[in-house]
């Protein structure tokens, strides 16, 4: 399932994150690449263990926790601390798939990467290129969102970032281990959740139809979740 989540950060939140990361130390993006990705990746990345990166990442994690749409779509068990990258001057990231297991440097924290996330931190009018192209069953999906908006998609997807030929593309990226490993099951739960919300809005939280559908949702989650 691929889903865009608007306004994960409001303009003030984007400005706070950019003020932190723009003043931070940036290095070659291959510091977090696997052997295959390193052949295709050309960008810069914020050094992840510096205070600016930790503070900016904390702001994003707080925003994720406040987003009902993110929680419903991802059913998160663990979230990898957000990282930050920057593309300019023709830099790109060729077709690749994310590592199945992500390890946080210098710690024993690890996650299974069920979902990948990109949170855009630059307005699309400020740069040319830099589209995130995700291959799925319906063909290539091209994503270039306003600053503060985020896209969530299966980490198993082949994807790439097209060359940035003008300006800079700045984004945060991270991975999510879901309570529900199977993407198809997560899609069913998400669609059911959205349906429950519509029924509740139309008929009320205490109506029998709402209560019954809510019970179905939680029984399916109980069957599929590993928490």
Enumerate the known binding-site residues for 2-oxoglutarate: 169
Enumerate the known binding-site residues for Fe cation: 96, 98, 159
User: Whose structure tokens read 């990705």?
Assistant: 37
DSSP 49: T
Enumerate the known binding-site residues: 96, 98, 159, 169
What string of DSSP letters covers 107-158? SS-EEE--EEEEEE-S-GGG-EE--EEEEETTEEEEE---TT-EEEEETTS-
CA distance 138 to 169: 26
């Amino acid at each position: 399932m691929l889903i865009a989540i608007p306004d994960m950060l409001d303009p003030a939140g984007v400005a706070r994150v950019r003020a932190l990361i723009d003043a931070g130390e940036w290095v070659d993006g291959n510091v977090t690449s696997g052997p295959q990705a390193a052949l295709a990746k050309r960008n810069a990345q914020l050094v992840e263990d510096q205070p600016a990166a930790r503070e900016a990442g904390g702001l994003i994690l707080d925003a994720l926790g406040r987003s009902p749409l993110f929680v419903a779509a991802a059913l998160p068990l663990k979230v990898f601390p957000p990282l930050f990258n920057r593309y300019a001057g023709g830099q790109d990231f060729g077709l690749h798939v994310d590592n199945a297991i992500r390890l946080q440097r210098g710690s024993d924290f690890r996650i299974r990467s069920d979902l990948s996330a990109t949170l855009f931190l630059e307005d699309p009018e400020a740069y040319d290129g830099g589209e995130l192209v995700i291959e799925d069953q319906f063909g290539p999906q091209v994503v270039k969102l306003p600053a503060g908006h985020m896209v969530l998609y299966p980490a198993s997807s082949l994807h790439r970032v097209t060359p940035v030929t003008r300006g800079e593309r700045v984004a945060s990226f991270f991975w999510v281990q879901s309570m529900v490993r199977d993407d198809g099951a997560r899609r069913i739960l998400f669609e059911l959740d959205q349906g429950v919300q519509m029924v509740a809005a139309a008929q009320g939280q205490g109506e029998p139809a709402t209560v019954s559908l809510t019970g179905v949702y939680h029984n399916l989650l109980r069957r599929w979740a590993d928490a």
